[in-house]
């Protein structure tokens, strides 16, 4: 138990210590906007603005009333949920296999770059991870010791998981089929499965409506095979890492050895748990993969976070098994070291972090008068508006301004190895304006133009000032 407490404390420190190190990005700006509304208005807006169920937003709305909507205040909910997942991971892996496997999984979770990342994001993913882990744990308990309490626990946490993220359904579906197919658990689980099914039915109209909005069409911009491989890489070493190709290869080899050992020669006490974790992981990952092949393609790292625990149980069951000896424990240690390396490197490299809209706003400083902003990408208007009061779209008829700022933050590159550096600001022709500042940092580029006296500006002439060709551009006005 002391080891679990220490691992949880270490994982919590990694999640809580740097909550304010990065600014809000686009998706978090949407969360801030929602939880800043009244509860009824927020619930009415979720079907039109989001592609996930409402549970997280209700919790975040309540949390924001106590802790505010700043980076630390709002993200601290996810950080605590992510920290609480570590002992749950241990308990689930121990129930499935053994204490050794539980400790290995808890260690991997404490320093997992992808879990730390989503534990520092004001979105539903940390809640999904925790509830999916609770579902797998209660499922394992119900299989080992069938009874009414375990069935109720599984039914409640599984229904809550569905209400936090739709992709939890693929993990829960596999568990439900297993419980109904097994004579020893069917009687106890029947009512619980029925309750989870009713939850799914209740959410179905919301699913259909949100799907019609096509808010997640961007996912399919990259090929399916690439996204599958990227998810595996992200689960092992995170989104960005130094020597990324080499470290991905090392982590993949160690994970492959772990899976091979777990499936080919597990410890006798772990064999049953390995089978359960393998089936659960195959269900949670395989069903969305089949749906993607059929045309309903929403497969992405963040949507597959519910698979992290069952898949890592299989890896750990091979590496941390008694039969694997010190070499296996060394493999777990190397994976933990790679994860910690990625976390530290990402904290030190601004270009690998979330879009730095706060840094852009601080660099601009207060406007002396009406200031026009040329923002790339165009959707940056939402997070930037959190840091610049009164920001709004420039009227189509244009407006008068004495300053023009052209800004571009580094965009995290989900389709490549690392983000490209920001462009170098060049002097841009704008009649009556001269460049008074050109700034290029690791996380953004900024060009500030000023005129001796304000003049009428047209949207079209400002659109041509974007720093990156063919990048969607927004033209805003700051009073």
Answer yes or no: pTM beyond 0.85: yes
pLDDT digits (tens, 9 = 90+) for 258-284: 999 999 988 888 999 999 999 999 999
Largest CA distance in the chain: 83
**Domain residue spans of the chain:** 2-348, 357-478
**How confident is residue 413, by pLDDT bands cut at 50, 70 and 90?**
low
Q: Tell me what the mean pLDDT of segment 352-368 comes to.
A: 92
Is the pLDDT score of 414 beyond 90?
Answer: no
**Percentage of the residues of the chain whose pLDDT score is greater than 90:** 89
State the pLDDT at residue 89: 98
State the pLDDT at residue 213: 93
> 119-128, 180-189, 417-426, 429-438 — which is least confidently predicted?
417-426
pLDDT digits (tens, 9 = 90+) for 62-115: 999 999 999 999 999 999 999 999 999 999 999 999 999 999 999 999 999 999
Winning range, highest mean pLDDT, from 118-122, 390-394, 424-428? 118-122
> 34-48, 304-318, 448-462 — which is least confidently predicted?
448-462
Is the pLDDT score of 412 beyond 80?
Answer: no
State the pLDDT at residue 479: 85
State the pLDDT at residue 348: 94
Angstrom CA distances, 474 to 25, 77, 161, 218, stand at 16, 32, 37, 19
**Percentage of the residues of the chain whose pLDDT score is greater than 70:** 99
Is the pLDDT score of 406 beyond 70?
Answer: yes
pLDDT digits (tens, 9 = 90+) for 158-217: 999 999 999 999 999 999 999 999 999 999 999 999 999 999 999 999 999 999 999 888
What does the H/E/C string look like for the chain?
CHHHHHHHHHHHHHHHCCCCCCCCCHHHHHHHHHHCCCHHHHHHHHHHHCCCCCHHHHHHHHHHHHHCCCHHHHHHHHHHHHHHHHHHHHHHHHHHCCHHHHHHHHHHHHCCHHHHHHCCCCCCHHHHHHHHHHHHHHHHHHHHCCCHHHHHHHHHHHHHHHHHCCCHHHHHHHHHHHHHHCHHHHHHHHHHHHHHHHHHHHHHHHHHHHHHHCCCHHHHHCCHHHHHHHHHHHHHHCCCCCCHHHHHHHHHHHHHHHHHHHHHCCCHHHHHHHHHHHHHHHHHHHHHHHHHHCCCCCCCCHHHHHHHHHHHHHHHHHHCCHHHHHHHHHHHHHHHHHHHHHHHHHHHCHHHCCCCHHHHHHHHCCCCCCEEEEECCHHHHHHHHCCCCCCEECCCCCEEEEEEEEEEECCCCCCCCCCCCCCCCCCCCCCCEEEEEEEECCCEEEEEEEEEEEEEECHHHHHCCCCCCCCCCEEEEEC
Please state, rounded to an integer, the average pLDDT across all residues of the chain. 95
State the pLDDT at residue 266: 87
pLDDT digits (tens, 9 = 90+) for 101-151: 999 999 999 999 999 999 999 999 999 999 999 999 999 999 999 999 999
State the pLDDT at residue 369: 87
State the pLDDT at residue 76: 98
């Amino acid at each position: 138990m002391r080891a679990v407490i220490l691992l949880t404390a270490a994982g919590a420190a990694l999640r809580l210590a740097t909550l304010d190190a990065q600014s809000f990005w686009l998706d978090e700006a949407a969360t801030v906007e929602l939880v800043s509304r009244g509860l009824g208005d927020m619930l009415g807006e979720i079907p039109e603005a989001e592609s996930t169920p409402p549970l997280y937003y209700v919790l975040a709305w309540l949390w924001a009333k106590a802790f505010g909507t700043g980076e630390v205040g709002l993200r601290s909910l996810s950080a605590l949920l992510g920290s609480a997942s570590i002992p749950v991971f241990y308990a689930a892996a121990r129930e499935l296999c053994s204490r050794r496997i539980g400790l290995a999984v808890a260690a991997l979770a404490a320093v997992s770059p992808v879990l730390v990342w989503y534990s520092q994001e004001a979105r539903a993913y940390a809640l999904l991870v925790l509830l999916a882990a609770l579902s797998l744990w209660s499922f394992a308990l119900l299989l080992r010791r069938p009874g009414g309490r375990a069935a109720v626990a599984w039914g409640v946490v599984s229904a809550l998981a569905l209400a936090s993220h739709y992709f939890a359904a693929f993990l829960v579906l596999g568990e439900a089929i297993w419980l109904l197919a097994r004579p020893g658990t069917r009687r106890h689980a029947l009512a619980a499965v029925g309750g989870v099914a009713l939850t799914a039915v209740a959410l179905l109209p919301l699913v259909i409506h949100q799907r019609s909005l096509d808010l997640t069409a961007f996912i399919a911009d990259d090929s399916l095979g690439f996204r599958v491989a990227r998810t595996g890489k992200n689960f092992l070493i995170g989104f960005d890492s130094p020597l990324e190709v080499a470290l991905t290869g090392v982590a993949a080899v160690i994970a492959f050895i772990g899976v091979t050992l777990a499936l080919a020669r597990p410890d006798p006490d772990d064999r049953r748990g390995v089978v359960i974790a393998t089936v659960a992981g195959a269900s949670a990952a395989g069903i969305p993969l089949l749906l993607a092949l059929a045309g309903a393609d929403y497969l992405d790292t963040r949507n597959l976070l519910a698979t992290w625990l069952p898949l890592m149980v299989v890896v750990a069951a091979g590496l941390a098994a008694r039969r694997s000896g010190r070499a296996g424990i060394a493999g777990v240690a190397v994976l933990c070291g790679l994860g910690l390396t990625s976390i530290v490197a990402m904290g030190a490299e601004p270009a690998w972090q979330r879009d730095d809209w706060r840094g852009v706003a601080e660099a601009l400083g207060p406007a002396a008068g009406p200031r026009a902003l040329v923002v790339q990408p165009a959707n940056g208007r939402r997070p930037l508006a959190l840091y610049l009061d009164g920001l709004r779209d420039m009227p189509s008829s244009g407006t008068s301004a004495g300053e023009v700022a052209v800004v571009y933050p580094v965009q995290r590159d989900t389709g490549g190895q690392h983000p490209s550096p920001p462009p170098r600001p060049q002097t841009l022709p704008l009649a009556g304006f001269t460049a008074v500042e050109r700034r290029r940092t690791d996380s953004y580029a900024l060009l500030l133009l000023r005129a001796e006296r304000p003049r009428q500006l047209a949207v079209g002439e400002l659109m041509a000032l974007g720093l990156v060709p063919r990048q969607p551009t927004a033209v805003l006005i700051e009073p």
